[in-house]
Amino acid sequence: MELKNYMEKLVMEKLDIVIKANRTTCNCERCRYDIAALALNSLPTRYVATSSGATYSKIDSLDQQFHVDIVSAITQAITIVKKTPHH
């Protein structure tokens, strides 16, 4: 059994899409991880430990507002990282 923050998976899935939409965003590994970390810190965690828990979280993630919140958190994180990149 493994404990996993399902929100991390969702953020990483959307990260490339949002970075590509913000063309002036650095796409280096360090900036990508900084953006993901900042976004995850502003979003609620969704830990799963079993396959039934993963199924519940996947159903929850289908909500439109859920996706809007993720994209918004990534966009805000991009703004912060652009101002003070660590690369």
Instruction: Show me where the domains of the chain are located.
Output: 2-83
Nearest to 67 by CA among 19, 22, 18: 18
Q: List the single range of 13-17, 31-35, 60-64, 69-73 with lowest mean pLDDT.
A: 60-64
Report the alpha-carbon distance of residue 72 to residue 60 in Å, rounded. Answer: 18
* pLDDT range class, residue 63, cuts 50, 70, 90: confident
pLDDT score recorded for residue 3 = 83
pLDDT score recorded for residue 55 = 67
Q: pLDDT of 2-27, one tens digit each? A: 788 889 999 999 999 999 999 999 99
What is the overall mean pLDDT for the chain?
89
pLDDT score recorded for residue 78 = 97
